[in-house]
Amino acid sequence: MDGLRKDQSLVGATDNINEETNNITQKVISEGGEETMVPPVGNSIHRSSSRPQLDLSGAAIQGNFEERDPTILLPNQSDDISHLALDIGGSLIKLVYFSRHEDRVVNDKRKKSAKERFGVSNGNIRRTFPILGGRLHFVKFETAKINECLEFIHSKQLHRGDNDNAVIKVYTMFEKATGGGAYKFADLFKEKLGVSIEKEDEMDCLVAGANFLLKAIRHEAFTHKEGHKEFVQIDHNDLYPYLLVNIGSGVSMIKVDGDGKFQRVSGTNVGGGTYWGLGRLLTKCKSFDELLELSQRGDNSSIDMLVGDIYGGLDYSKIGLSASTIASSFGKAISENKEIEDYRPEDISLSLLRMISYNIGQISYLTALQLGIKRIFFGGFFIRGHAYTMDTISFAIQFWSKGGAQAMFLRHEGFLGALGAFMSYEKHGLDDLMVHQLVERFPMGAPYTGGKIHGPPLGDLNEKARWIQGPDLVCSNQKGTYFICNLLQISWMEKFVRKGIKITAPVPTASPRTTGLGGFEAPSSKGDTLRCDESNLNVGVLHLVPSLEVFPLLADPKTYEPNTIDLADPNELEYWFTVLSEHLPDLVDKAVASEGGTDDARRRGDAFARAFSAHLARLMEEPAAYGKLSLANLLELREECLREFNFFDAYSTIKHRENEASLAETRLLTLIEGVLAANIFDWGSRACVDLYHKGTIIEIYRMSRKKMQRPWRVDDFDAFKERMGFGDKKHQRHKRALLFVDNSGADVVVLVANSLPALNDVTAMELPEIVAEAAKHCDILRGAAEAGGLLMDAMINIQDSPREKSSSTPLMVVENGCGSPCIDLRQVSSELAAAAKDADLVCCFNILYIYLVILEGMGRALHTNYNARFKCDALKLAMVKNQRLAEKLIKGNIYDCVCRYEPAN
Amino acid sequence: MEGDRIEEVRLVHSPVDEISHLALDIGGSLIKMVYFSTSREQPIDKTQINASRDSHAVSRSSKDGHLLNGRLYFLKFETSKINECLDFISSKQLHYRGLQHCGFPASDKNIIKATGGGAFKFADLFKEKLGISLDKVEEMSSLVSGANFLLKAVPSEAFTYVNGQRNYVQIDHNDLYPYLLVNIGSGVSMIKVDGDGKYERVSGTSVGGGTFWGLGKLLTKCKSFDDLLEMSHQGNNRVIDMLVGDIYGGMDYLKIGLSSTAIASSFGKAVSENRELEEYRPEDVARSLLRMISNNIGQIAYLNALRFGLKKIFFGGFFIRGHAYTMDTISVAVDFWSKGEAKAMFLRHEGFLGALGAFMNYQLVEEFPDTIHLAGEKNRNPLVGDLNDNGVIECCVQARPAVED
């Protein structure tokens, strides 16, 4: 066993990926038009008539039927169904559009019964009218290739309103001064798409965009110091007033007091236009980005006069200036007999960048000071996620405020204007969205949503797979216009071999079924002196899931932090990246097998490996690229990536087999033992995977059961036993227990036998079947399932007296609305939320303690929520299948067990 | 460039044999010099200074207050041509004679008061070439004492500049403090002055005279600061700057209170037009640059004045040089940002604040508020009567030894 341990701890383990792969539908669940129209019960005001409804008449599949998610053309929509807003800038066109994502109509008795039982539509108290779910997309195009943009809009039918006078809202259209001309664009849009474009007020847009982002996205704002990003949690109730500094050609400083309440208080004419304009004249650069790129390799001391130059290398400490402080920008150019040509363009660019950034920072700070504003947010095209620019501005604010103020930046900064224009549609339905109703995903096939633009959008999966596979395939299979796609691949892949990063290839190097990566020319000539600007933050697709809610049983949602491990620690980050990378080949094998091992599946598996590796590489380079990085996000990203390549349930075959094989019965101790032991069945853990290869699952299960001797490493079993009424004292029985199950397979059986009154499984779709199957073996379970309306023949009863005392405790399955092996209890399905706060009980605070929350498995109980506190009793069960985690969390060893019982206080 | 004017000064104003007391401000771009000379017209007062006097005798005589009538001379050199400055001092034997006049102890006679970063940087050079030690006077305190001296002692020193018109401001000595002193040298220092020797550097910016000249030199191939300024006078910044009107189609963007001629983005037009640097007139480039920098300084200065509740903002330093357009831009900036509440004020001796302050450090100058008049005024057109280049203040100093502290 010792030998085994050593091996396993070396390869490490991740947790619980398998159960997630099959519940795509839950993940992006959106309350579709029809469903949300279910009249709310109770006293909430029903105002749905004032809100859009989907008109399904005339619906037709648009485009390729073979696509997994064909666009459904719904020609008879009211005009706010699909919104599109643009920001046409000098070099980039930013596009924000909203797409309804219809939940596949699931005539699922489980869901229906659960909904009715809990009165789900009543669950979301804050909402007075239904919001349609959907996705907010952020896309970029190069202005020079406006036709691609037009084609994209056309192909997505984004411009189709219900009348001929469709209007597209535009933030800016770059003006005659920048060569394009608004008329040109207006004509183009009219001609190609038959729509008018309408320019919105710039400042209205900026403010609306910023307000939306700051309120709706949890990790939107961040500080940037010395190359390090730190996301800032903004308290929505304490957001205003703030200063919004928009750095475009010039700089506007806007004091924002609330929605639509703002004033331009200051500004400066020394802005992005100055940088680019002067830079172009001085360096002959062809583009803004080129100029910015140059600055990374520059040394401004060759052209700026530093304090040290004046004081002969001494610090002028009396006034708090160090020798390297710039005394006079470009001041050295005075005395030296040099022409422009004698200076390196890199140095000039850097000097210019510092001059302008400092200046903007200084004026912003002074303005904020004057108005007594604490928070300053910077946005606009000048910043572009450029690390050095942000550093310089931050430094200026820090310097002048003596640390009292901080510059903050926005992750969606580049889309501020377009988003604002989008918000200016009267009925976009996004006003009242809360932070917990948005989930951001980062699909690989969205080159536009990343920092840089590389070619046209990818239409379907085939294209995506090809694109991600390699230049050869791209070239042979695509039209000439698609060649550019390679760029993205190269720019991402080059990260793999970046110097100074230990993980040089977080990719399967050789896997029997995948070709792995390699063979790419990898330019890696990044200077180390200055940070590069690849820190462009990625912008994902915002999934609007109005049905998500904060888990009501959380003790304090405000301070709740799901993640147990802080990936801000570079060691942790590297460790988990290694774990994920090493696990990848096996995952690909499983995924390919789950789809029958066809050539197509293999191809997709390969593409998935590349895509996920690219994600990892990107994150390794810039951990904050997708927002605040956590293990939960990382695991979720992997699941999302699998789904993206149409692996909806990589472990389906295995799960199915194991579920059948492992039906057994137990009692309380054996229950928990069983949970822990069964928890070893974990395809997410490399250690376990190795183990399984050596025997059948049931054998391992039995073996591990033997190992499960108490006391466990963290052992609150006795306390829990006492509470459950097996001790001397009499306790009120838990009225409802919520068991967050994780892995499919053996532990499902345990759950079933456990007869706990409510279930939540991530695979909520399939769980009823398993329960039904299990019920054949177990009367208790059968009774419970019938009472819970899970079994067909019991359906009749639920309408009549769902809460009537029955011989069995009702057993129900609800989905948690989460897409990760980990769970973020700030964003759970309304179904679950309703289950957690039964309408009868909400007002009765003292009843809460008779609830029981059971979190089970590494993802839910260790990686996340290990430190979470609940209003009710909580039981956290897991087997630690990772040596490092075991040491860190419980000072134990791999395969140690955790049974943590925390009674409500 | 300075050669001619120095020559002129030498011919007109500086009799070789009566020079004494020299102070330097060695900045990043320019060396400013102030020295005192007894004038020919007004012979030396009763003072008969004996060079061999011992220190005891000197201190006694200082109590008596030997007054010297004479003139303060103002000169400048480019820092890059520091040898010209050394030659000048050497040829005039300023250091030598001045000290003799004052009757310093022999051991101190090779000391010159100096300020600015160069006082550190070039200390060895002065020692080596002239055998002179530079007695370093702290830069900020020099600026402040120079400004305080000028504001209190010289009538018609401060003026506002509105629509091309200088309006001299009578400074009430009792209501002088606090004020914001903005010294625009290579870089810009902003100093809150609360009294004699009471001040704090509250802000600054690296975008200053050095930026104007440095960038200007790169962009226009101009050979001197003055040429650049001169060129800017004939330029039109609209060619290069993006104006509000360029963005909003010629209409004022009233909602935010900007007129169509306001600059939205300095050099913003250079972004899109396919014009190379050579295709722009150097005059236009210089103008655009000047406006950018003046406006920026004006804005930051105003914001700082506002922050500390200061009503008076004085602009000094060599960047201004009495250049009408520069002063106009700064004035407009302050006026714009303060919505007319604040006025930018300028000093006639703006370039010499530091050097003058270093000179004051000799502790020679008694209070003589009413006795000073500007000799230069007689010789110059009052409208352009700034004394930025070289000039003279007629004054009277009391000779006494430097206080050792």
Sign of torsion over alpha carbons B288, A399, A252, A138 = positive
- Cβ A273–B268 below 8 Å, yes or no? yes
Taking the C-alpha atoms of residue A110 and residue B274, their distance in angstroms, rounded to an integer, is: 66
Residue B90: its pLDDT value, please? 81
In B194-243, which ranges are continuous DSSP H helix?
Answer: 209-220, 225-233
Name A213's Cβ contacts closer than 8 Å, sequence gap at least 6. Answer: A220, A410, A411, A412, A416, A419
Q: Would you say residue A244 has pLDDT above 90? A: yes
| Cross-chain residue pair B270–A277, CB shorter than 8 Å | yes
Q: CB of A756 within 8 A of CB of A787? A: no
pLDDT tens column, A341-375: 889 999 999 999 999 999 999 999 999 998 999 89
Cα A506 from Cα A360, distance rounded (Å)? 40
Residue A538: per-residue pLDDT:
66
pLDDT of residue A348: 93
* Rounded Cα–Cα distance for residues A51 and A44 (Å): 16
Highest mean pLDDT among A204-208, A622-626, A644-648: A204-208
The C-alpha angle with vertex A633 and arms to A629 and A636, in degrees rounded to 5, equals 155
Do A269 and B27 make contact, defined as CB atoms within 8 angstroms? no
Is the pLDDT higher at A83 or at B47? A83
Q: What is the pLDDT of residue A534?
A: 36
CB-based contacts of A566: which residues, under 8 Å, 6+ apart?
A: A572
Read off the pLDDT of each residue in A507-526 and give the average, rounded to a whole number: 23
Instruction: Read off the pLDDT band of A813 (50, 70, 90).
Output: low
Q: Which pLDDT score, from 0 to 100, does residue B365 have?
A: 53
A668-902 maps to which CATH number?
3.40.50.10880
Q: What is the residue extent of each domain of chain A?
A: 8-204+419-429+468-492, 221-410+510-534, 668-902
Q: Using a CB–CB cutoff of 8 Å, tell me whether A3 touches chain B.
A: no
Select the more confidently predicted residue: A226 or A496. Answer: A226
Task: Tell if the CB–CB gap between A249 and B268 is shorter than 8 Å.
Answer: yes
Q: Residue B85 corresponds to which tokens in the numbers above?
A: 């400055």
Q: Torsions phi, psi of A685, nearest 5?
A: -100, 125
Mind spelling out the 3-state secondary structure of A439-455? EEECCCCCHHHCCCCCC
Task: Establish if A351 touches chain B: CB-CB under 8 angstroms.
Answer: no
Say if residue A379's pLDDT is above 60.
yes
- Find the range with the poorest average confidence among A643-657, A713-727, B34-48: B34-48
CA dist B156 and A534 (Å) reads 57
Most confident range (mean pLDDT) of A185-189, A250-254, A832-836 is A250-254
The amino acid that residue A831 corresponds to is E
- Residue B296 has a pLDDT of 93
Q: Report the C-alpha gap between A450 and A634 in whole angstroms.
A: 17
Among A192-201, A808-817, B119-128, B270-279, which is the least confidently predicted range? A808-817
**H/E segment holding residue B24:** strand B19-26
pLDDT (0 to 100) of residue A721: 65
Closest CA to A264 of A250, A248, A244: A244
Contact (CB<8Å) B186/A327:
yes
pTM over 0.80: no
Q: What pLDDT does residue A576 have? A: 84
Nearest CA distance, B155 vs chain A (angstrom) = 31
Residue B118 contacts residue B43 (beta carbons within 8 Å): no
Query: To the nearest whole percent, how much of chain B has pLDDT over 90?
Result: 14
Distance CA A542, CA A545 (A): 9
A284: which chain B residues are within 8 Å (Cβ-Cβ)? Answer: 276
- Residues 123-182 on A with a CB inside 8 Å of B are 175-179
Whether a cis peptide bond, with omega within 30° of 0, leads into A821 is: no
Give the highest mean pLDDT range of A8-17, A545-554, A662-671, A780-789. A545-554
Query: Which residue has 């520069």 as its token pair?
Result: B326
Dihedral sign, CA of A890, A555, A729, A675?
A: negative
Rounded to the nearest integer, the mean pLDDT of chain A is 63
- Asked if B271 lies within 8 A of A280 by C-beta distance, the reply is yes
Tokens (6 digits) for A522: 């990898």
**Residue recorded with tokens 């890059």:** B80
User: Quick one: average pLDDT of B71-100?
Assistant: 74
Give the torsion through C-alpha atoms of B201, B207, B210, B216, to 10 deg.
Answer: -160
Residue B114 has pLDDT above 80, yes or no: yes
DSSP A666-719: --HHHHHHHHHHHTT--TT-HHHHHHHTTS-HHHHHHHHHHHTPSSPSEE-HHH
Q: How many residues does chain B have?
A: 405
Question: According to the CATH classification, is domain A8-204+419-429+468-492 in 3.30.420.40?
Answer: yes
pLDDT above 90 (res B313): yes
The CA-atom distances, in angstroms, between A709 and each of A472, A485, A618, A696, A896 are 57, 56, 43, 22, 10
Per-residue model confidence as pLDDT tens digits over A132-169: 567 777 877 777 778 888 888 877 766 665 444 567 77
Domains A8-204+419-429+468-492 and A221-410+510-534 share a fold: yes
CA distance B24 to chain A (A): 15
User: What is the percent of chain A where pLDDT is above 70?
Assistant: 48
A119 touches chain B (CB under 8 A): no
Strand A221-225 with A406-410, pairing? antiparallel
Cβ contact B265–A363 (<8 Å) = no
What's the confidence (pLDDT) of residue A408? Answer: 93
Tell me how many residue pairs between chain A and chain B have CB atoms under 8 A apart: 227
- Residue A788 to residue A603: CA distance in whole angstroms: 43
How confident is residue A750, by pLDDT bands cut at 50, 70 and 90?
Answer: very low
Tell me which CATH code domain A221-410+510-534 carries.
Answer: 3.30.420.40
Residue, of A387 and B217, whose pLDDT is higher? B217
pLDDT at B345: 93
What is the pLDDT, as a whole number, of residue A814?
64
Q: Quick one: pLDDT band at residue A612, thresholds 50, 70, 90?
A: confident
Provide the 8-state DSSP code for B374.
-
Predicted confidence band of residue A754 (pLDDT cuts 50, 70, 90): very low
A302-306, A313-317, A669-673, B286-290 — most confident range: B286-290
Q: Cα–Cα distance between A811 and A739 in angstroms, integer?
A: 11
Phi, psi angles (nearest 5°) of residue A501: -105, 125
How many helices (H) does chain B have, and how many strands (E)?
14, 15
Local confidence band at B178 (pLDDT 50, 70, 90 cut-offs): very high
The pLDDT assigned to B212 comes to 92
Highest mean pLDDT among A10-24, A389-403, A825-839: A389-403
- In tens, the pLDDT along A695-743 reads 444 555 555 555 556 666 666 766 666 666 555 555 555 555 666 655 4
How many Cα atoms are found within 13 Å in the side-chain-facing hemisphere of A698? 9
Q: Which residue of A has its CA nearest to B140?
A: A319
Lookup: tokens for B309: 């509740």
- Interchain proximity A312–B268, CB inside 8 Å: no
> Which residues on chain A are in Cβ contact (under 8 Å) with B284?
none
Chain B hits for A201, Cβ within 8 Å: 255
Q: Looking at residues A289-294, what average pLDDT do you find? A: 85
Report A:364-393 residues touching B (Cβ under 8 A).
Answer: 366-367, 369-370
Task: Please write the tens of the pLDDT for every residue from A858-883.
Answer: 777 777 778 888 777 777 777 777 77
Predicted confidence at residue B180, as pLDDT, reads 94
